[in-house]
Amino acid sequence: MWNPIECAPREELEAVQFRRLKDMLLRIYHLVPFYRNMLDEAGIKPGNVKSIDDLQRLPFTTKQDLRDHYPFGMFASPMDQIIRIHSSSGTTGKPTVVGYSGYDMEIWEEVMARCLTMVNVGPGDVVHNAYGYGLFTGGLGFHYGAEMVGAAVVPSSGGFTKRQLLLMKDFGATILACTPSFALHMAEVARDEGYDLKKDFSLRAGFFGAEPASEGLRQELRDAWGITYIEAYGLSEIIGPGVASSCPRNRLHVFEDHFIPEVIDPETGKRLPDGEEGELVFTTVTKQALPILRYRTKDITKLHREPCACGRTMVTMDSIKGRSDDMLIVNGVNVFPSQVEHVLTKVKGTTPNYVIVLDKKGVLDKLEVWIEVDEHVLVGGT
């Protein structure tokens, strides 16, 4: 375990959260005009917040708010204190811009160290980092976290699959960091190239994130590579990877001393009790450059506070089921693409590629799933 606070008593953890929340509210009220106006319109002053529970009285922040204040209008730090800028691709509008102060970078490295030490990554490990580098936060997040715990980093980034496999084999990579789909693609290419995945490679664990993955896909990667599957959850608006990480007990721990999670009803905005499914919301309580109040992620999950056998006391969340903006309603039943993927991974002879088509047949919804059949089936296999 990297930081003792990961197993602190709940009372101690909540006291840390509240102290940091009060400081964060003062910071955004005085340094970010958007938040000052928003809180004033809601009739709330920072001093009105008397407990963590009062957080649910405060307004939400959305991705559109970040776009509306592009590029630096949401920053709480002057530009001479910003040492890193990341941004989204902006494919559906202006990109969202994320700034980091030196202190923010220290936080990011530290929470990434927590992720990596879930499986005791440290000196002697070789981390093959196939996340993208650049404006995307994935590559650099894992890079600096791995260096902090003393591991050797191979900054391979994405693409060039055959070369990546060669480097993984020759450099004796013990840890793989990439998206689950790329890990599956590498496994397929490795087999085609004649590699024995469990004999020719030295991998013992993989850190997978940046996209949804059904339990079926996770198990497929465990079986293919013979590794421990660690889920790395994050989003650039909050910090990047490092918001939450699964432990060896397969529970996804949120580092809530930095990022306070809530789950709300996506329609009403009302906070839901633990164990109920809804939209995930985060408040950052330690970030300097881009502190965010009640950010609506659109990710669908549940929160749990039962103790974990790994010893960590921080709240856990379910793996993301889907997004509130990609949920399909089929004859009154909520259907997420991740549920379709989970079923398909159990069907022999299919690949992970599929298309969902929702249409009408009279007054009834008609759902079709177009699948891609494995090439071995097409040439006469079973």
Interior angle at CA 93, CA 317 and CA 112, nearest 5:
35
Q: Within this chain, do residues 133 and 251 fall inside the same structural domain, yes or no? A: yes
pLDDT, tens digit (0-9, with 9 covering 90-100), for 103-140: 999 999 999 999 999 999 999 999 999 999 999 999 99
In angstroms, the CA 376 to CA 382 distance is 8
Query: Are residues 111 and 209 located together in one domain of the fold?
Result: yes
CATH number at residue 233: 3.40.50.12780
Task: Say yes or no to pLDDT of 91 above 60.
Answer: no
What does the pLDDT average to over 367-372?
Answer: 87
Structural domain harbouring 357 = 328-378
pLDDT beyond 90 at 324: no
Q: Are residues 200 and 156 in the same domain?
A: yes
Q: Which of 299, 323, 347 is the last residue of a domain?
A: 323
Give me the pLDDT at residue 331, please. 57
Nearest to 24 by CA among 255, 314, 283, 257: 283
Beta carbons of 24 and 286 less than 8 angstroms apart: yes
Domain holding 373: CATH number? 3.30.300.30
Q: Is the pTM of this model over 0.85?
A: yes
Residues 69 and 180 in one domain: yes
Supply the pLDDT for residue 345. 73
Residue 94: per-residue pLDDT: 85
Phi then psi for residue 45, to 5 deg, are: -105, 155
Structurally, how many domains does the chain consist of?
2
For residues 153 and 131, is the Cβ–Cβ distance under 8 A?
no
Among 17, 37, 18, 41, which residue's Cα sits nearest to residue 29?
Answer: 37
Tally of CA atoms within 13 A in the half-sphere of 346 that contains its CB: 7
* % of the chain with per-residue pLDDT over 70: 93
* Claim to verify: residue 198 and residue 258 sit in the same structural domain: yes
Q: Quick check: 112 and 131 in contact, CB under 8 A?
A: no
Q: Residue 165 pLDDT > 60, yes or no?
A: yes
Q: Which of 282, 297, 323 is the last residue of a domain?
A: 323
Q: Residue 111: which H helix or E strand, with range?
A: helix 102-116
pLDDT in the model for residue 349: 80
Residue 180 has what pLDDT?
Answer: 94
Q: What is the 3-state secondary structure (H, E, C) of 4-21?
A: HHHHCCHHHHHHHHHHHH
315 and 334 co-located in one domain: no
Residue 60 has pLDDT above 80, yes or no: yes
Question: Among 304, 323, 342, which residue terminates a domain?
Answer: 323
- Nearest one of 170, 175, 197 to 186, comparing CA atoms: 197
| pLDDT value of position 377 | 64
Residue percentage of the chain with pLDDT more than 90: 79
Express each pLDDT in 21-39 by its tens digit: 999 999 999 999 999 999 9
Residues 299 and 201 in one domain: yes
What own/partner pairs with CB < 8 Å and gap ≥ 24 does 167-172 have? 167/128, 168/128, 168/201, 168/203, 169/195, 169/200, 169/201, 171/126, 171/128, 172/126, 172/202
Q: Are residues 144 and 247 in the same domain?
A: yes
**Position 306 pLDDT exceeds 90:** yes
Q: At what angle do helices 33-41 and 10-31 cross, to 10 degrees?
A: 100
pLDDT at 241: 97
Examine the domain organization and report whether 94 and 219 are in the same domain: yes
Q: What is the reported pLDDT for 92?
A: 58
Cβ-based neighbours of 314, under 8 Å, separated by 6 or more: 6, 13, 253, 254, 255, 256, 257
**248 in the same domain as 134:** yes
Q: Reply yes or no on whether the pLDDT at 381 is more than 60.
A: no
In angstroms, rounded to a whole number, what is the distance separating the alpha carbons of residues 53 and 155? 42
- Is 2 or 376 the better-scoring residue by pLDDT? 2
Q: What is the pLDDT of residue 374?
A: 76
- Map residue 155 onto helix, strand or coil: coil
- Write out the two tokens for 191: 């087999």
Q: Pull the structure tokens for residue 3.
A: 């930081």
Q: 91 in helix, strand or coil?
A: coil
Residues 280 and 336 in one domain: no
What mean pLDDT is predicted for residues 214-239?
96
| 189 shares its domain with 209 | yes
